[in-house]
Structures are given as C-alpha cells and as structure tokens.
A and B are shown apart, each in its own frame.
Chain A
Amino acid sequence: MQPIVSSGVLSPWEPGIFSLAIYVILILIFVASQLFIAVWLGVRKRTVEKLRPYESGIIPTGAARLRYPVPFYLVAIFFLIFDVEGAFIFAWAIAYGELGWSGWMQISFFIVLLLLGLSYIWRKGGFDWGPTTQKD
C-alpha cells in the first residue's frame, strides 16, 4: 500500500471538538434507538411469577441481602492491596533508568516488605478458603 500524500483527497475536516460532538450525538442516537427498540418490540409480561427470582422452581426463602462470611471480605481486601501496590511497581518500572540504583533499592525494599506481608497472611491462614481446608 502506498501512503496517501495528497492532503486534498480525504476529508478536509480538522480533528476538533466539533467531530467529537457529532460522534457523541451519533452514539446517543444509536444507544437510544437500541433501547427504544428493545423496550417497544420486546414482549413484556409483568406477572408475579415472571418477576420472581428463579430458584430451581421454588419460591426463594429470605432476602438476597444477608451478612456474608468474613473470608469473602478478606479476599477482596487482599486483592485490592496487592493490586494497588502493583501500580507502584509499574510506575517504577517505566522510569527505572532515571531512578537508578537508589530507585532499585527502594523498590526492592518495597517488594520485600510486600512479600513479608504476603507470607504473614499465608501463615495466618488468610488464604484458607472454605471447607476444603478444614478436612483432614
């Protein structure tokens, strides 16, 4: 393929706020039309049974909002912690040439600290999941 050199061949528009606006409007029209078609054409039957949650054909017991056990929360927190800290490492990795040895030392210290924390959680049983660990 040959690169196009003549500037008059393609659209004379300069990229700018105007084209973005057009784009946004088109998107809005498209989304709205899709939603409208779905709402208008779809068969809607709002009967009691239809709106009831499906639970193997039985009327469910209790509410869906209940106190869930701590391990779920722990896993979420651990994920958050290690995920966010990954962001520091990525930031360092991009600039590691400029940061030099001192940066390397600092991030190493940081990673070692993370690993210590990880092993602590591991030994404390923070990753033990469900009934599988309680069996012999």
Chain B
Amino acid sequence: MGADNPKGLTDRLLGGTDALINWSRKYSLWPMFFGLSCCFVEEATALTARYDMARFGAEVLRPSPRQADLLIISGTVFKKIAPVVLRLYEQMAEPKWVISMGSCSNCGGMYDVYSVVQGIDQILPVDVYIPGCPPRPEAVLQGLVMLQKKIETESPTRSIFHFEGGTQGSVKPILVDGQTKSRDPRGPGMEGTAIRGTSVVAPEFLDSRSDLMWTPPPRQIELNPSDQNLAQVLSARFGDAVQTTSPTSDMLTFQVAESRLKDVLHYLKTEATPKYQRLDDLTAIDESARRQPDNFPDYTMVYHLLSFDSASRVRLKVPLHHQDPTTSSITDIWPSANWYEREVFDLMGIHFEGHPNLRRIIMPPDWEGHPLRKSHPGRATEMAPYTRKEAEKLQPLDGGVYVKSAHGEQPLILNIGPHHVGTHGLLRYIAALNGEKITGLELEIGYHHRAVDKIGERQTWHQFIPYLARVDYLAGAANDLPYLLAVENLAGIKVPERAQVIRVMLSELFRLSNHLVWFATYAHDVGAMTPNFYTFREREMILDIVELITGGRLHPSWFRIGGLAADLPEGWKQAVDEFIKIFPQRLQEYENLLRKNPIFKARTRGVGRISLQDAMDWGVTGPNLRSCGLEWDLRKKMPYSGYENFEFEVPTATGGDCYARYLVRVEEMRQSIRIIEQAANNMPSGRYITDDYRYVIPKREDMLKDIESLIHHFINVTRGPRIPRGEAYASCEIPRGEQGYYVVSDGLGYAYRVRIRAPGFANVQVMPLMAVGESIADLIAIIGSVDYILPDIDR
C-alpha cells in the first residue's frame, strides 16, 4: 500500500520524525530569565522546591536570549520596555515560543493606564495565555504543560528539511486592535459606550452625586508646643512669605511664597529647632481640575521635611501660577531633590531653575505631554494602540548620552539592564568602565512605571486598595498600611485594636517574606546558590499563612479603610505558632551558611560604603539607613498602628557597607518574629472593622440585616465614600524603608491626587555614591544589598 501511495509513506515517515523531535523539544524547553513584574516572582517560585518546574523539563532559566527558546512574558508590559522585549525575542534561538503570563501581559489587566501596553499579543505572537493576577506557581506549570501539548501538534520535520508546509515555534499572527482583538476591558462590542467612570474623571466632573452627601470636616490636630514655636519663629523671620495653615489633619503646614522658598528650606535644614535634616518627599499637584478653582493656584509644589531630632514632619506648600510654571531647584540644599524634581518636571511639566540635569526620568524620551497633568489621558484605551511598529521605532536612548567622559577619554560604556539577572528588575545601569573599575554610573529608571498615582485619581478610595500591594510586590500587605493610615487620618476614622494588631502581624509576616527573598537573591548575587533552595521553603510557609488568613498570596488586598476585609479564620493561631516555632532555628541555619563564609565576607565587607551624613542627606531609609549606624525606625520613632505596644529592638550596624546591610536585615528578621509572636499571643478580641460605617465597607452580616449598613455598603462600594476635602500624609516602615502616601481629597469618591513616597526611589538614587570607584563585580553585590524593587521606584 505504501508503494501505491508514496505521499502517505512520506507522511508517515515524517510523522515519526515529528513525534521524535517534538518529544525532545517539549521536555527540554529553555525559558529565558526575564521578569517584568509581580508575575515573575511567582514564575521564579515555580522553580523552587515545592513546585519544582524541573519535573517538566524546563529547569534552568537562561540569562541570555541566545540560549533560550521560551519567552515567558511575566508581568506588565510597559511602553518603555516594549522595544527591549521585542529585541530580546528577536535575539532568541529558533524555533521559539511565547507564554503570556498574567492579566497585564494578556490584556493590560488592571493597568489600563497610559504607560502600559494593553497586551503583549500586539507586539509578539503568543502561544499560551496564563490567566491570573498574578497566576500561582501551579498555573505556570499548567501553562508549561499546555505549551508542551501545543508543541506536540507541530510538524517540524518539513521545516527542518526545507520542505513546504511544516510548522514549528510561534506562528500565530500578531493581533491588531479593532480587527483581531479588542482592547476594551469589557470585551468586544461595547465600542459605542464610554467606559464607566470616565465622565466623572477630570476635567468634566459632571454632577457628581458625592455632592449630595454630607460628611463631617476632616480631622483636625492640635499643634504641639514645639510646632507652635516653629510657626511663630518662621512667621517672625519671613513675615508674610510664610503662612501657617490651620487647621491641618496631620502635621504642621506652611504656605510659602515661591520667592522665599529656598531661604525657608535652608533655614529649616540648618538653623531651625528642631532641624529638619531630611527631604522626605517633593511633589506637585495640578490644581486645574479643582471643583472650586478660585481657591487654588495653577500648581502647588509640596515639600515634606523630616526632623530626626524631634521625630516630626513639616509640610511646605508653594503655589505656582502659570500654564507651564517655573520654580527654583533646591538641589543645592538637598542633593536628593535631583530625581524628585526631574520626576515633577517629567510628569507635571514644572521647570526648575538651577537644576543640573533637568530631563525626563520616568517616561520615554520621546513621550509627548506630562502624564500627571489633569489634561493628559489616564487610560491606555483612550490613546492609540501601541503596536509593533512603535516597539521597533521608539528605542531607549544610547548609553553614550548618559556618560560624560572626562579629558577626552573613551571609557567602555556598558549597559547592565534593563534585562539582566543582577539588576533585580527593569532598571538600566549605564556604567563607564576603565578596565574593571567603574568610573561613572548612571541609572535609567521608568521601565516599570505603572502610573499608580494617576490610577489613584480615578479609582474610588476602596477600589484603589488592590493597587497598593502591587507597588511593592514582595512586601504585600505591608504596602496597604501607609495609604490606609493617610485616608484614616484625613477622615478621622478610628480603627479597632484587633484590626490594628492583625495589620501589624501581617505586615511583619510580609517583612519576613520579603527579607527571605532578599536573603536568597543577595546570596545568589555574590555566588552562593544554596540559600535560594532553602529560604523559599519558609517563604512558602508564610504565604500559606497569608493565604489562610486573606485568601491571597502576593497581593492580599485584605486591609480596608477602617479595618480589615474579614476576621481571622479558624486555625490561624496554629499555623502562626508552628511557623514561630521553627523559624528562628532555620534562620540560624541559613545565617551559618553565609556569616561564616569567607567568600561572602570578602565580597561584602567594605564594599559599597555610604556615610551616615550622605544617607541622611539623600533620604536613604530603612535597613540601608540603619546600617550606617542611625537608630531610626518609624515603628519606634513615630509609632503607628499600635507598634508602641510591642517589644522589639531596632538593629543597627556600622560602616554602611554591603555586609552591614546584611547584618541589619538578618537581625530585623529576628525582631519581626518577636513582634509576630507577641501579636499572635496577645491578639485582642473585638471588631475587625470600625462600627462607624460612614466611610467603610460594612461587615457583610450587617449589610444583609440592617438598612443603614446596606446603604453605606451600596454607596461606598459603587461611587465611593466622600472623604472630606483636605490632605494627609502617612508613612510606614515597610521592609524596604519608609513608604509614605500623600493623599489629597477634593471631596469626591476618589482622591484628587495620590502621591507615593517610595523608599526605593531615594535608596537607588545614591547608587553612584556607593558604586563609583568599585569594580564591576562589586556593583552586583551592591545592588543586591540595597534591596530595591522596581514598581516602587517607578510606581
């Protein structure tokens, strides 16, 4: 029969070879080491002991595209990183496959915002989509198995032997918006209807129903004698140029005339009692969409200063009048203002006179407009789709633009990142090298800009909560706290004691979880593979507890304004106790692996030093600050959420080098477990959410039984609670440092402006101080020791 039908014979022969080739290929896939955001943490977890992706024949992530044939797009695809993704894909070995992991990569997910591509399939062919935000590690395995099934259906032999009609690798077409795909978050067929909520977004604000609701005025605080004294001194010294705002909801606030701003700041930093040594935050508000425009200037600059001596803050507000205003740069007072002012310039379009290097920092160099202005579109779906053509054209700037060579020397310019195993995320270092020595270092950030600030202006106060944990995806629930504290401060919401203690317990669990990941990756950075395999075991235990309590893993979104989403479930105590019992001993084991290791010491001691003065001047916070010898921890110095009731120490170290940063973090883990133990053993009884339902989402049983609660539930879930007009700033000691939220309300169901003071932004800005003069290998150790995370730097 075969002789009668030669075609059938060929087919059968080829079919056999196909099966053999496909079998070999599907069990030896080589994924590339390329993570975009949160999803990558779960992808990496899939490699660790519990999930063990090696069982499926894809065990080692390849650092270079040349060695990889599987690209897992794990996370949010930003417009700034898309050209890099495309290049990496092109540089991969043939044949190659693409898995799109997570909602962001699939369709933009919850980030329908100007900086995010609404689906990688607009740029690359996609074989398998993994849903989830983020998908669990098991889902990654499932995705891999699905890809293996897809590979089984290919007929590669014909392609390999140059016959017609073979298939291998990704052959799906790239999708085109409006033709083969719809970017509409509600699915196709809704093109004629505006997306819900757009009509209430600036600048329209048509008949907001929040106006019909009455709410009490914002919380008012009594100024303490020291603040009153400072207010008097400033007003005597600067006259009308400085006016004390009264009342305020959180801290001493001044309205300062632009002309005297620098004098006032200089005075506050160097002469005032107490001295405000640190520029905590610097940002701006576009006032053009205010609902009572007569009361406001065009823009307001906002400066938050912090005093280490008196553990207090002060806020300065500077009105600016012009369409494209200009103000003076304060980089000569605080060097850390450099990046902050660049960010304001980039996102708000405010110019700073005397700034040494005023150019875009977050957005791509060719971006048009200033996204945080109220006139700039917020959603990506309001803008033209981002296509492959743009990804080919809009390239990151050449490294030579960043590095200034002195004396006509031609240094070797090396790009480390945005795709690099050692950069721990999408950050680009541009190093000028003389041999192995780093002679110049520039950082290019903004590859992970998810525009959380802008989203905060359109999601209601409650709807914004899921975005919080994603600002620092390794610190989970710990992120939620500063935002909630700020809103609760502003509206004067009292949180029950039980909720406070649970919040503390979860925050500390996430501190441990974060530090365990840091421990593993840092050790890995300096050449120790082993801790990686172990610390993820305890991290999984923590995530199991988190899952038991909240139902989520990385992003629980479980804290609520006024309390929590639910009470602790049955069995939580047992799980926590079990963890408390084993953890200290395990930590000791891991410590022994590193602290007694001569290679580890040689790689970290005396490397990447920063002096205490520099650290304070540049706004370095968290373990990085404490490793310079300053005992400064917000949990102790400006306690919140009941931290004053816990016994713990604030570990410090001296030297400010990589080793000191290591010591501080490890000791912090021991203190965290103490706090968790105290919280678990002394868990107060009572409500988990406040009983004043004006602003909060009521308990479900109340909502079902009580009409008053039902009304509050309906209002607060749909249009959002009407938080009184005003502003508040709250800052917490999250694992990476001090994360502050500055929220401004215009009396609507959502914020007028949300600003995140991220620890990473300041901690990373000092990188050149630590790394210039060191060898290129030490840069990796320094990066690991600083422990930053990209969504928190770029927000």
Q: A72–B88 contact, CB under 8 A?
A: no
* B:496-537 near A, CB below 8 Å: none
Residues of B contacting A45 with CB < 8 Å? Answer: 94
Q: Which of A46-54, A93-101, A116-124 contacts B (4 or more CB under 8 A)?
A: A46-54
Q: Is the pair B435, A71 in contact by a Cβ cutoff of 8 Å? A: yes
The chain A residue with its CB closest to the CB of B85 is A57
Q: Are B437 and A131 in contact (CB under 8 A)?
A: yes
- Tell me whether A62 is interfacial, beta carbon within 8 Å: yes
A71 to B775, CA, bound (A): 14
Chain B interface category by residue count: 35 or more
Expressed in whole angstroms, the minimum distance between the Cβ of B252 and any Cβ of chain A is 42
Q: How far is B606's CA from A71's CA once the two chains are assembled, in angstroms? A: 23
* Cross-interface CB contact of A130 among B416, B436, B606, cutoff 8 Å: B436
Chain A residues, CB < 8 A from B418: 56-58
What 8 additional pairs, Cβ within 8 angstroms, besides A41-B161, A130-B435, A131-B775?
A41-B160, A49-B87, A56-B423, A58-B84, A59-B395, A59-B398, A60-B399, A130-B436
Spell out B's residues near A (CB within 8 Å).
64-66, 84-88, 90-91, 94-95, 159-162, 395-396, 398-400, 410, 412-420, 423, 428, 434-438, 606, 773-775, 778
What is the CA–CA distance of A62 and B774 in the complex, to the nearest angstrom? 22
Residue A43 at the chain B interface, CB threshold 8 Å: yes
Which chain B residues lie closer than 8 Å to A134 at the CB level? 773
B87→A62 contact, CB < 8 A: no
Q: Are A55 and B94 in contact (CB under 8 A)?
A: no
A interface secondary structure, majority: loop
Give chain A nearest CB distance to B163 CB in angstroms.
Answer: 12
A40–B423 alpha-carbon span in the complex (Å): 38
Task: Decide: B419 and A57 in contact? CB cutoff 8 A.
Answer: yes
Asked if residues B417 and A62 are in contact (CB atoms below 8 Å), the reply is no
What number of A-B contacts does a CB cutoff of 8 Å give? 82
Q: How far is the CB of A46 from chain B (nearest CB, A)?
A: 11
Write out the residue numbers on chain A whose beta carbons fall within 8 Å of the beta carbon of B435: 68-69, 71-72, 130
| A/B interface sample: 12 pairs, CB < 8 A | A40-B162, A44-B94, A47-B90, A56-B428, A57-B84, A57-B87, A58-B396, A58-B399, A60-B415, A61-B415, A129-B436, A135-B606
Identity of the chain A residue whose Cβ is nearest the Cβ of B420 in the assembled complex: A56
- Give chain B nearest CB distance to A3 CB in angstroms: 44
Q: How far is the CA of A60 from the CA of B430 in the complex (A)?
A: 11
By a CB distance below 8 angstroms, the chain B residues around A55 are 414-415
Interface residue tally on A, bucketed by range: 20 to 34
Q: Which of A57, A58, A66 contacts B410 (CB 8 A)?
A: A66
Query: Is B396 within 8 A of A61, CB to CB?
Result: no
Tell me which of A56, A61, A129 contacts B413 (CB under 8 A).
A61
| Chain B residues, Cβ within 8 Å of A11 | none
Contact A56 B419 (CB under 8 A): yes
CB of B526 to closest CB in A, whole Å: 15
Is the Cβ of A54 less than 8 Å from the Cβ of B65? yes
Partner of B437 from the list A58, A66, A68, A130 (CB cut-off 8 Å) is: A130
- Most interface-central of A68, A69, A72 (chain B CB within 10 A): A69
Q: Are A56 and B416 in contact (CB under 8 A)?
A: yes
Determine the distance from Cα of A52 to Cα of B66 in the docked complex, in whole angstroms: 11
With known contacts A67-B410, A135-B606, A58–B160 Cβ distance under 8 A: no
The 9 closest A-B pairs by CB, nearest first: A49-B90, A43-B94, A57-B84, A61-B399, A69-B435, A57-B419, A58-B415, A61-B413, A131-B437
